[in-house]
């Protein structure tokens, strides 16, 4: 089984992801890094951060130990969002970035995300190379050649300044509830929003190492909805544990997911001449309503495989400026080289300020098609594409739906299951077809 998934390494901390593994991965990454520099006299530099999980403390120490033992200087930045690590790598000219986080997963899980020079996620080929080098014999540096550890006390302020520099309008007069998921956003999001001029009510912003994503954040929106309605706020912002995604709640309590946010930003960017080639990059999971809305707005949509890394790869290859996922990973290449939940929140609220419209009004750009998603587990997901019976069932139901719906079957890149997604004009039709397809998948792949 491959060590790296679609978003780095992830697993149960101290069981799947141990201190020993973290150290070995760091050493292997350092070897790949040193070799790629082509200059043995240049001391490589790495930025290392973490979210608020208790296990991040020992895993971060292991990563730092691995890198420095292999001759890499490490700048420790503490608890910061994942996109802050990507930004700092690019801003400081560092050679590597390491983020210890399991994103929206519960507290017992953790992960390792790696960033290359420029702040971009490592290519699949580099991840494979690192995995192949784990545990190899190596000559250890000594004396002045070992890496050093530097505490970067100003990293947080640099990141906040970067976020604020993306704005061209004050957010004054807008009341925001921000749900920090008791994660990495807790120490940054409320400050950035306040400095941008908004009136801020911060919730789930007291991490204790164990409460990250616990009934709060982007995967538990009821908590934020209640806070928005209670405080009569204009908008609610929900981040995940490492704050690389953003979902929203409008003043009426409606969920504004990544498709809505992407549609709103695409229209706003286009109106201000900032949408390259009038094109936005999305994924195959984007709602049919999003595709319809973009067509009506005369905005072209490029669809990629699921995963923000694939969205970004397409954006870089074609020099597009905006892309994202339904899950709330939004990438704005004019400001950042990776998805950034805090940046997304600021730009979404800025669109409210620019247009003087409520979030509810802005969201009317799109009508969401009912979507049903069923995860089928306990099966041989790798056989999905080779099953004639499943292909025939999909073709049958696609013919029934015609232009009024859509079907997508996808093997998960991070879990042992197949996702069955159906969109239709009504919940009942979508549910009926999804359940029938899920039954076929279960029978054919067990």
Residues tagged active-site: 103
Both tokens of 433, joined, read: 């077809």
Q: How far apart are CA 88 and CA 46, in angstroms?
A: 10
Q: What is the largest CA-CA distance in the chain?
A: 71
27 within 8 A of 139, measured Cβ to Cβ: no
| Distance from C-alpha of 144 to C-alpha of 249, rounded to nearest angstrom | 53
Residues near 137 by Cβ (< 8 Å), separated by ≥ 6? none
Is the CB of residue 330 less than 8 Å from the CB of residue 246?
A: yes
**Distance set, CA 313 to CA 98, 306, 329 (Å):** 20, 12, 14
d(CA 10, CA 252): 36
Q: In this structure, what token pair is assigned to residue 3?
A: 């060590």
Closest CA to 259 of 209, 329, 171: 329
Residue with tokens 């397809």: 437
| 230 CB-near residues (< 8 Å, 6+ apart) | none
**Rounded CA separation 100/87 (Å):** 16
User: 93-107: buried (b, 16+ CB within 10 Å) or exposed (e) per residue?
Assistant: ebbbbbbbbbbbbeb
């Amino acid at each position: 089984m491959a060590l790296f998934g679609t978003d780095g390494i992830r697993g149960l901390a101290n069981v799947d992801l141990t201190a020993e593994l973290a150290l070995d991965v760091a050493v292997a990454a350092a070897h790949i890094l040193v070799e790629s520099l082509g200059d043995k006299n240049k001391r490589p530099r790495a930025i290392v951060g973490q979210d608020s999980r208790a296990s991040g403390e020992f895993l971060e120490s292991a990563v730092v130990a691995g890198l420095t033992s292999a001759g890499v200087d490490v700048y420790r930045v503490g608890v910061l969002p994942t996109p802050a690590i990507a930004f700092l790598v690019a801003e400081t000219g560092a050679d590597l970035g390491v983020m210890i986080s399991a994103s929206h997963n519960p507290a017992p899980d953790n992960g390792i995300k790696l960033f290359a020079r420029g702040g971009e996620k490592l290519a699949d080929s580099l991840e494979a190379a690192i995995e192949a080098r784990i545990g190899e014999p190596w000559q250890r540096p000594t004396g002045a050649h070992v890496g050093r550890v530097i505490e970067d006390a100003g990293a947080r302020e640099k990141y906040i300044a970067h976020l604020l520099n993306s704005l061209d309008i004050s957010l004054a007069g807008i009341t925001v509830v921000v749900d920090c998921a008791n994660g990495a956003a807790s120490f940054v999001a409320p400050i950035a929003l306040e400095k941008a001029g908004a009136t801020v009510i911060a919730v789930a912003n007291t991490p204790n190492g164990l409460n990250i994503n616990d009934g709060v954040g982007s995967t538990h929106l009821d908590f934020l909805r209640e806070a928005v309605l209670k405080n009569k706020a204009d908008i609610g912002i929900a981040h995940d544990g490492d704050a690389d995604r953003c979902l929203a709640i409008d003043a009426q309590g409606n969920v504004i997911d990544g498709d809505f946010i992407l549609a709103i930003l695409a229209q706003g960017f286009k109106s201000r001449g900032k949408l390259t080639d009038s094109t936005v990059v999305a994924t195959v999971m984007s709602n049919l309503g999003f595709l319809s809305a973009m067509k009506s707005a005369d905005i072209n949509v490029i669809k990629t495989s699921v995963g923000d890394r694939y969205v970004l790869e397409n954006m870089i290859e074609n020099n597009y400026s905006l892309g994202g996922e339904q899950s709330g990973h939004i990438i704005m290449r004019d400001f950042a080289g990776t998805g950034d939940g805090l940046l997304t929140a600021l730009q979404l609220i800025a669109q409210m300020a620019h247009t003087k419209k409520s979030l509810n009004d802005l969201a009317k750009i799109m009508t969401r098609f009912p979507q049903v998603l069923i995860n089928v587990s306990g099966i041989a997901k790798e056989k999905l594409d080779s099953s004639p019976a499943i292909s025939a069932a999909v073709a049958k139901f696609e013919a029934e739906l015609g232009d009024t719906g859509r079907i997508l079957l996808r093997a998960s890149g991070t879990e042992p299951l197949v996702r069955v997604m159906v969109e239709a004009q009504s919940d009942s039709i979508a549910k009926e077809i999804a359940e029938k397809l899920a039954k076929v998948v279960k029978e054919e792949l067990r």
